[in-house]
Structure 1
Amino acid sequence: MKPIIGITTNYVDDDKFFMDLGLGALGQSYSAVAIDYFNAIKEAGGIPIIIAPTYDTDYLDSVLNLCNGILITGGNDVNPLLYNKNNNSKVGRVLKIRDNSDFYLTEKCIEKDIPLLGICRGIQVLNVVQGGTLYRHIDTNKLLDHSAVNSYKSIISHFIDVEKDSFLYEAFKTTRIGVNSFHHQGIEKLGANLKSIAKSEDGLCESVQMENKKFIVATQFHPEMMFEDEKLYLEIFKLFVKKCKN
């Protein structure tokens, strides 16, 4: 049987946004995620299922028992209080329900050695879970501007250098690869037991893996947005799904 991969989603309480699209009613909230994640897992040979953000840990435990792996997707900024920094005007909207849900799933995947792939917000969640910190807003006077928000999803924004002794190299078979970039935050201090396995030209960490685990890997870039135009980027999902079978 194909491995079942749980995909986390955003919590959206903007009822007007959906009503303007002719959907829903006043007072409704939604679980929403870009279908790129779903398509990447399916194309890589997994069975993707959607996980709504929730405070219900019994539900999340049931999902973990059902799934062979978890994909932590992009979305809202992580609350800076969770890595002992103050909130400020540069931080985007934070949502407690999403933080609680993602942190619980990540912690349990580490504890139970369930394969996990984190993307964008996912790498930041993993880093904070392990006691690391984030740049609340990347200083573009010192580092590249990583927030190419007006770019097409698969356009290469910059290049990253990949460590040979890493899952990322195992997937891509190259030490240098172009990536897209849609984030204004990033890893500052690396969390415990995490290894930086790729960096951008300015030295910012673009990917990590956890040592002595079956597959705990995260990227700051979005390979799910790129694989339809260039199949190479599907390889990280294929490796993830393969690890979920073992």
Structure 2
Amino acid sequence: MSRRPVIGIATQTLPGVPGERQPCWIMGRSYIEELRKVGAVPWVIPLISHDPDTLQEIFSRLDGVFITGGVDVDPSRYGEPKTALCGTTDPDRDAVEIALLQHALDRNLPVLAVCRGIQILNVACGGTLYQDVSTQVPAALKHDFFPTPEQPSRKYLAHDVTVKAGSRLGRILGDAVVPVNSMHHQAIKDLAPRLAATAYAPDGIIEAVEGTGSQYLVAVQWHPEELTETHPGMSRLFTTFASACAA
């Protein structure tokens, strides 16, 4: 039996509550489960940005990198002051994910990124973000369909995306137009030089990017882990990623 690929996933900070719990590093189960289902071994990475030597020991054991959704990227990472438009940030997560992505890019490791993941990837490669799409892009659609107690589903298909023909993403999804869920209020503003846009929302917001070379480097603005049971193309995002990691 061949060795299962090990895929690194950075965590996110859960602040402590005095008298109830100490600060924690957490990650959503759906990401872990989708990787496990396609034969990968998820390695959940603590946000020990103060200990780069230990991080590098973890990174050196990885066959691929998966970057998940979460809180906003701190604007200081792309040279802007943080405004009231920006929500909660997690500086330790930013630091660890940028280091993790740089490791993957330097060593040609496969990368799959979703939602916040496409944003931190763009920043790590030299791009910038809208701190809040609804106020900075006047003609934008509503993109922030976050779950609520009244409407808890993360599977709601908010809008279509148009996928670039001939792209890696296009070959994986198998469709030129794909309905997606949408749970973000930030998005790519200036695209990083080493990335190519491969899908757009009807309002022109970049919804997917990939690398310009041979590396498996794919990122989408939606949450495919919530749609694998209803859209075969979303499932193929994970199977092709795992295969690339195994190779």
Asked if these proteins are the same fold (TM beyond 0.5), I'd say yes
Stretches of structure 2 lacking an aligned partner (at least 5 in a row) = none
Secondary structure in structure 1 of the residue aligned to 2:165: coil
Query: 1:28 aligns to what?
Result: 22
Query: 2:145 aligns to what?
Result: 148
**8 A Cα contact 1:5 1:69, kept in partner:** yes
Which of these residues, 125, 140, 153, is aligned with residue 130 of structure 1? 125
Query: 1:51 aligns to what?
Result: 45
1:185-204 pair list within 5 angstroms: 185-204=186-205
Query: 2:213 aligns to what?
Result: 212
1:91 CA drift (Å): 0.5
List per-residue Cα deviations over 1:194-238 (Å, max 9, x = no partner): 000111111110111111142111111000111134443111011
1:27 CA drift (Å): 5.5
List per-residue Cα deviations over 1:129-178 (Å, max 9, x = no partner): 11111010013631111000135111111000111222211211111111
List per-residue Cα deviations over 1:61-116 (Å, max 9, x = no partner): 11221111011111111111111111111101112111111111011111111111
Q: Is 1:12–2:14 an aligned residue pair?
A: yes
CA separation in 2, counterparts of 1:207 and 1:138? 16
Which of these residues, 86, 92, 98, is aligned with residue 91 of structure 1? 86
**8 A Cα contact 2:12 2:90, kept in partner:** no
**8 A Cα contact 1:11 1:52, kept in partner:** no
CA RMSD of aligned residues (A): 1.5
**8 A Cα contact 1:134 1:187, kept in partner:** yes
**8 A Cα contact 1:54 1:101, kept in partner:** yes
Supply the AA of the counterpart residue of 1:53.
L
Q: Is 1:105–2:100 an aligned residue pair?
A: yes
Deviates more, 1:153-162 or 1:44-53: 44-53
CA separation in 1, counterparts of 2:182 and 2:16? 25
Percent of aligned positions that are identical: 30
Structure 1 stretches of 4+ moved >6 Å: none
List per-residue Cα deviations over 1:180-206 (Å, max 9, x = no partner): 000000001100110001111111101
Stretches of structure 1 lacking an aligned partner (at least 5 in a row) = 17-24
CA separation in 1, counterparts of 2:144 and 2:112? 21
Aligned residues between the structures: 238
**8 A Cα contact 1:44 1:234, kept in partner:** no
Query: 1:67 aligns to what?
Result: 62
Supply the AA of the counterpart residue of 1:159.
D
TM-score, length of structure 2 as denominator length: 0.91
**8 A Cα contact 1:163 1:198, kept in partner:** yes
CA separation in 1, counterparts of 2:74 and 2:140? 22
CA separation in 1, counterparts of 2:186 and 2:232? 27
TM-score, length of structure 1 as denominator length: 0.92
Query: 1:168 aligns to what?
Result: 169
CA separation in 2, counterparts of 1:8 and 1:116? 13
Supply the AA of the counterpart residue of 1:49.
W
